[in-house]
Amino acid sequence: MATAAVQVQADDHLQLAPDEVRSYLDDAGFASVYLKGTEYGMPVMFLQAADAEITDQALNTALASMGAVLREKVDFALCYDLRDLRTPSMHNSSTIIKWMNDDEMSPLLSQHALVTCVMVQNSFAGMAVSGCTYVIQKLCSAAKPMAVVYTEEERDNFLREAIKQVKARRAQDATGEIKE
């Protein structure tokens, strides 16, 4: 199966209608990456994991696709759907950490990924991922809304409220007034 990231030009004025999808990676063997418009006024970048081996090539392709979304320079919520993810190796984990700390990616992530949602299985493995996610979030970006969820309903509820919160905070910062 061929894997190729969709090459998309950066667009400072990217607008997506609710439920409109802009695909950056249809299938890397273990993941898809896409940006989806929402009715909440902020798109969501999804990394949707599949039950497949995480090869170096597939991981690098997925990270490059996520980088393409970041280079759009549009603010978004980020949803990692890890429910079907196979356990990554230490090498995979190291590659991801290096990418997140890259001189180009790190500032783009902190500036444009305003909300983070992690979907996991309601299982022991999911609880382990949940615990690790909370620790990382507290160390890296405690001020941004973040949640670990188990269902699409929980995801949608969290994203709606978190995006509303971010937009209200921005409105308050812009005007000095408290918006509810």
pLDDT of res. 141: 60
Tens-digit pLDDT profile for residues 127-175? 766 666 666 565 556 578 989 999 999 999 999 999 999 999 888 888 8
Number of compact structural domains in the chain: 1
For the residues 45-65, what does the mean pLDDT come to?
A: 92
Q: Specify if 120 maps to a domain.
A: yes
Q: Specify if 14 maps to a domain.
A: no
Q: Specify if 10 maps to a domain.
A: no
pLDDT of res. 12: 46
| 6 pLDDT higher than 80 | no
CATH number at residue 39: 3.40.525.10
Crossing angle of helices 90-100 and 56-70, in 10° steps, is 20
- Is 117 in a helix, a strand, or coil? strand
- Per-residue DSSP letter, 5: B
Question: What is the CA angle 111-114-120, rounded to 5?
Answer: 130
Q: How confident is the model at residue 122 (pLDDT cuts 50, 70, 90)?
A: confident
Q: Specify if 8 maps to a domain.
A: no
Residue bearing the bigger pLDDT, 180 or 51: 51
Q: Specify if 6 maps to a domain.
A: no
Q: Specify if 7 maps to a domain.
A: no
Tens-digit pLDDT profile for residues 88-109? 888 988 898 899 889 999 899 9
The parent domain of residue 82 ranges over: 21-175
Q: Specify if 9 maps to a domain.
A: no
Tens-digit pLDDT profile for residues 26-46? 766 788 999 999 998 899 999
Q: Specify if 2 maps to a domain.
A: no
